[in-house]
Structure 1
Amino acid sequence: MTMIKIVFYGLAAMLGLFSPPVLAETKAYQIELIVFLQTQPNTEVFDQVSSEIEWPSGLTELSAYNKAENTTLDDSYAALARDSAYRPILQVAWVQPVEEKGINSPVHIQGADGKLNGYLRIQHDQGLQMVVDLEFSSKSGDRGSKNLVYRLNEKRSVKLNEVYYLDHPKFGVIVKMSSL
């Protein structure tokens, strides 16, 4: 090894030891989610009978995060509950740390009866984005009827404090992200 290479590697090692580490900045966000069934008739044909979600690694259970103290979508939930065309099945709100760069841990979203299953992931690549991949299973008690699975898989750019509606003919999702 030449003397120049030795000096170069030595300087590089010293700079690495004495320079401050580059850390991704983390912010906390409140995420609110409402999932509801839509009971209006439609003519679309659905033939999915098993889950097609490609589960990402690092899935975190919702219970691992703190519940949000105050929620802002309560009026939306109440309005859905009053309208016979909709049936709310889940309302959750949590506080999640989100790194300023890259893809964050997906959060497992699941209904109490097991018919709703999937995840929500926040990404901070080129702006703030959310990925929602949820499935609702019809799981009826009739042995003769086919168990259908309805999937909503969407990626959206989001702005803080705005309400987003994700639509599927059988169910819908309302999401809001706020900075803390």
Structure 2
Amino acid sequence: MEKRCFNTLMLLLIGFFSAALQADSKTFKIELVVFAQDMPNSEVFDQVDSEIEWPTRLADLGSYQQVAAQYRSLSGIYAKLERTPGYRPLLHVAWTQEIKADRLGAAVQIQSPDGSLNGYFRLQRGHYLHMVTDLEYSPEGWVIYRLNEKRRFKLNEIHYLDHPKFGVIARISPLS
């Protein structure tokens, strides 16, 4: 009888802890629009070699569930960038990703179809949420422009990461 009570207690504890572990994971919809901008500036860019600080593990974007076009919220911004002189959209991607509490999510490789953009994006979930980007844009193939930023953000808000030669518009939303 005592052994059966112990086994029952152990099953209850295992069930409780496995439910608690599942509860600390949240799924997010991550949407990015990356664009080139041809704005006058006085900065000198002389980076010719990649300086991306690649994480140990890098996930392919295709390994995540892609968000269908009708559920993307930045499509209007992408279309406006296409019509506006001085801007050229490079990429519009949206995917869902599960991030555990107090963890750094998997880094997802971000690449444009023509290869001029390369880098990664990741979420960090702790007391606050942070987005981490390390992207390089090389339109001519010899000069490299780098956008390396970690930024705290609020869910469902549109954020703009700025560089004189390219930018990122990001929106992260929780999925229920």
Q: In which range does the TM-score fall when normalised by the shorter chain?
A: 0.7 to 0.9
Aligned equivalent of 2:3: none
Q: Partner residue of 1:152? A: 147
Number of matched residues?
159
Gaps of 5+ in 1: 1-13, 141-146
Please state whether the residue corresponding to 1:84 is helix, strand or coil: coil
Q: Which has the larger radius of gyration?
A: 1
| AA at the equivalent of 2:161 | L
After superposition, give the CA deviation of every residue in 1:64-115 in whole Å (9 maximum; x if it has no partner): 0011131000111111111111110100011111112211111100111111
1:102 and 1:28 map into 2 onto residues whose CA distance is: 13
User: Displacement of 1:179 after TM fit?
Assistant: 0.8
Point out where structure 2 has 5 or more consecutive residues left out of the alignment.
Answer: 1-5
Q: Does 1:120 align with 2:118?
A: no
- In structure 1, the residue matched to 2:46 is 47
Q: Which residue of 1 aligns with 2:30?
A: 31
Query: CA RMSD for the aligned pairs?
Result: 1.6
**Counterpart pick for 1:168 among 155, 163, 166:** 163
TM-score (structure 2 length as normaliser): 0.85
Q: State the Cα distance separating 1:58 from its structure 2 match.
A: 1.6
CA distance in 1, matches of 2:62, 2:49: 26
Shift of 1:26: 1.0
2:103 maps to 102
Name the aligned partner's letter for residue 45 of structure 1: V
**Residue 40 (structure 1) shift:** 1.4
2:66 paired residue number: 67
- Equivalent residue, structure 2, for 1:9: none
Aligned structure 1 segments of 4 or more residues deviating by more than 6 angstroms:
none
Q: CA deviation at 1:54?
A: 1.1
**Alpha-carbon shift at residue 138 of structure 1 (Å):** 2.8
Shift of 1:59: 0.7
TM-score, reference length from structure 1: 0.84
The structure carrying a bigger helix percent of its residues is 2
Partner residue in 2 for 1:137:
138
Identity of matched residues, %: 50
